[in-house]
Structure 1
């Protein structure tokens, strides 16, 4: 068998050619109303969303207090840079063409209380482990995006939460209010937006240091093991894979290939979050001095959910004009015509890598409804990246009051996603997971067999349940096996 890094190096040359081809297609624009990355600029400004109805926005008591907080954020440096987002868009275009796989992962909602350098490191480390497993199995590069450094605000089904006859504003994420059920805690506080910016900045500093400072080097793949996965089946599988990676690196060194090459010592890592709080997003929208185009500089990749993707709504007005790659969550309730219309509105020149469609349905509904959405997009000739979110369609509530997600349901939706795309002849481009590097007991099942009774042992999330490291790595092995099997079946055709 060709060593892992040799195979990846060869694939990288093919990927480079694909990316360059996509970039060449993306640069010419039909008019000044469309940016080189595909943004729809006609009549758009960073504040034009204010003329539309904005859903899921907190109701602040003091408008001046909010304005002061947003002005403070406007005066701060951007969290990410335009060139980084353009680099990501090229990588996403490559994945949409079937030459890479995209891994989203991180917290459901980041927390002020749980913010620690070790927690950031552990989640980052699990994502590295998953990426190595997926790269080894799929034979293509893995694009890594963290639901980190900005994933705070959460949409709510109701503005108010009622407990024992008392109604208070719903918890909307730590950048808005606090989860304790008291009037003071639930009051939307603009100062929390500034604190969220500060925590995002600190998180990004850590992520950049890990990615470029040697922590992510392939030569350290054996050092990424988490203590609580050491004696698990998946932990042993990972250790075996790591030893094979080491052997491949040793072989390359014997052939004279320098293991200190930057591609072996560093990795690209990008951030992503749901762009829900439009005032915050506007405050971090900046004009790129190189291209003279606007970017949402709160994260490299921004997405919107089904609750806020109304074609004439404020969120879609904001999204259409920023030059970041953007994602749209779609469910079984989505119809092909409206999805096609929305994609065209957000990407009028059909630029590769601009749009990611993230399905969230549950396995049964995905098999029934995803094919018609794929058909609609294919018939319209649109360039999109298909990603599955197997978490949100599989949330249940137990008799003892805990929200959880059965590991088996998450697994089944991912396998259904691969199955549908293989049958349709399209590319399953990535997976979007809510997970953590902490040893939590929030999702049931997996080889560690977390039971409903175990949930109370370490249930830390402030919002939705997350996979722990062992469960996340188990999914990576399962996905790698399926991607490898799909590749073999394609080769035999």
Structure 2
């Protein structure tokens, strides 16, 4: 099949508000338009949450990932809450991301691009507008940026848009502080406890990985490599969320005007800015002669499986921003539709511009992923292929508790790796809903959690998350798979 060289239909002129002329799914209705406009005006006046140069850095890293030169670890809460904006909670989430990435680096022998579902993941689309709690029908909880967790606080409130901004800013500020003060020092493999692993053989395999990691760090310290390279104490970390509320995203969309070449030097002006990572070297990005729009609410945003309509408002908004973007791809995505959405979002065939986050389910991946890979290979789009093994594997217990099976999650990950390999393609990342806490929301893993154990510490207000130990389990199993 011949590859398509050009996007077939040029899109009309874009602006941050052009999405308003399109049909929108999962929109939020506010009873007081004047109050909403006041809150949006407040957001427009506030500083950006992330810098344009940081977004450009992530674009380059994801371009590397699309070529198989890096692997993306994107993970975090299904929906953040305002109450989780505490030092301990933030440290727990950051710690699990660092530990998982370290294990993956050892197994894959590939740089890891860390993207946290953090600092803005406050909204979730829901399948129903109402739910029944204690026999009473109430509005569904849609994330604290929209309404409250308590059944008595389910009316939409635009003040929550501003509140979400300040909670995001607070988390980002604390993460920057942690990363600039050696929180990312990765010497901790020496102290990792494996008592939670019930199976002796699995514990032995994990212990072998930890010992090898510890030996590697000891060797680097012995030869003085740490003094020459800060990468063991400093990392790149980027933020992300599903961009569901387009009025919020529009208010935080800012223009970077193109700059003319300097008359004195005859070369483009170079802007310098500290990266979101704690690295001391400066990130440099050349400016073009074109005006560019950046979504400054996060480094990376994605379109959900329920809001990716080709002629819809979300696709219209996403096509005009400079951020690297994600698209959730499920069983309902027809291969031709996938090609069409890539043509709209990536008309210039920029490597890594689009991350395809596949979410099929362990029993459906074989029926859909091969056709989607073939469809993308028939074009010139260079995407990042990421596996989301959580959303397609959600079930409900006999007691009505929503959960996910660890075995199904692992099965979908390994199937994705093997399908890509079989088709001469490559998986470039993984997308997980997890927490750094010891919750009991998913069954299975090396703790052997069963449905009866879920009530011990079931905390989620939305989707079930992998706990701290199950998340490490995932990293160890992926690492083992690649090493074998």
- Tell me the TM-score normalised to structure 2 length: 0.87
1:371 and 2:370 matched: yes
Q: Which residue of 2 aligns with 1:451?
A: 450
Q: Secondary structure at the match of 2:65?
A: helix
Distance 2:476 2:386 in 1: 18
Q: Which residue of 2 aligns with 1:26?
A: none
Distance 1:212 1:325 in 2: 25
Q: How does 1:323-402 map to 2 (within 5 A)?
A: 323-402=322-401
Measure how far apart 1:239 and its partner are.
6.1
Q: Which residue of 2 aligns with 1:263?
A: 231
Measure how far apart 1:117 and its partner are.
1.3
Q: Which residue of 1 aligns with 2:131?
A: 161
Measure how far apart 1:76 and its partner are.
1.0
1:112 and 2:111 matched: no
Change over 3 Å in CA distance of 1:254–1:168 after alignment to 2: closer
Q: Secondary structure at the match of 1:247?
A: helix
1:252 and 2:220 matched: yes
Distance 2:133 2:95 in 1: 39
Unaligned stretches of 5+ residues in structure 1:
1-29, 32-39, 486-493
CA deviations over 1:6-62 (Å, ceiling 9, x no partner) = xxxxxxxxxxxxxxxxxxxxxxxx99xxxxxxxx98511111111111211111110
Q: How does 1:433-452 map to 2 (within 5 A)?
A: 433-452=432-451
Q: How many residues align?
A: 444
Distance 2:93 2:210 in 1: 18
The counterpart of 1:280, out of the listed 248, 272, 283, is: 248
Q: Secondary structure at the match of 2:151?
A: coil
The counterpart of 1:194, out of the listed 152, 159, 162, is: 162
Q: Secondary structure at the match of 1:455?
A: helix
Q: Which residue of 1 aligns with 2:92?
A: 122
Q: Which residue of 1 aligns with 2:115?
A: 145
Change over 3 Å in CA distance of 1:463–1:258 after alignment to 2: closer
Q: Which residue of 1 aligns with 2:35?
A: 65
1:214 and 2:179 matched: no
Change over 3 Å in CA distance of 1:256–1:448 after alignment to 2: closer
Measure how far apart 1:170 and its partner are.
1.9
Q: Secondary structure at the match of 2:483?
A: helix
Q: Which residue of 2 aligns with 1:89?
A: 59
Q: Which residue of 2 aligns with 1:232?
A: 197
Q: Which residue of 2 aligns with 1:426?
A: 425
Measure how far apart 1:384 and its partner are.
0.6
Distance 2:205 2:237 in 1: 25
CA contact under 8 A between 1:235 and 1:470: conserved in structure 2? no
Distance 1:403 1:256 in 2: 50
Q: Secondary structure at the match of 1:218?
A: coil
1:205 and 2:204 matched: no
Measure how far apart 1:243 and its partner are.
4.2
Change over 3 Å in CA distance of 1:450–1:220 after alignment to 2: closer
Measure how far apart 1:369 and its partner are.
1.0
Measure how far apart 1:111 and its partner are.
0.8
Q: Secondary structure at the match of 1:306?
A: coil
Q: Secondary structure at the match of 1:445?
A: coil
Q: Which residue of 1 aligns with 2:279?
A: none
Q: Which residue of 2 aligns with 1:131?
A: 101
Measure how far apart 1:114 and its partner are.
2.9
Change over 3 Å in CA distance of 1:311–1:438 after alignment to 2: same
Distance 1:238 1:269 in 2: 25
CA contact under 8 A between 2:196 and 2:446: conserved in structure 1? no
Distance 1:235 1:148 in 2: 31
CA contact under 8 A between 1:213 and 1:266: conserved in structure 2? no
Farther-moved stretch of structure 1 (248-257 vs 98-107): 248-257
CA contact under 8 A between 2:119 and 2:239: conserved in structure 1? yes
Unaligned stretches of 5+ residues in structure 2:
1-5, 258-286
Measure how far apart 1:115 and its partner are.
2.6
Query: Which structure has more helix as a fraction of its residues?
Result: 1
Q: Which residue of 1 aligns with 2:270?
A: none
Distance 1:193 1:117 in 2: 22
Distance 2:241 2:301 in 1: 5
CA contact under 8 A between 1:356 and 1:387: conserved in structure 2? yes
Q: Secondary structure at the match of 2:72?
A: strand
CA contact under 8 A between 1:211 and 1:268: conserved in structure 2? no
CA deviations over 1:51-105 (Å, ceiling 9, x no partner) = 1112111111101111111111111111111111111111111111111111111
Q: Secondary structure at the match of 1:364?
A: coil
Distance 2:177 2:211 in 1: 25
Change over 3 Å in CA distance of 1:252–1:160 after alignment to 2: closer
Distance 1:401 1:383 in 2: 42
Distance 2:225 2:33 in 1: 60
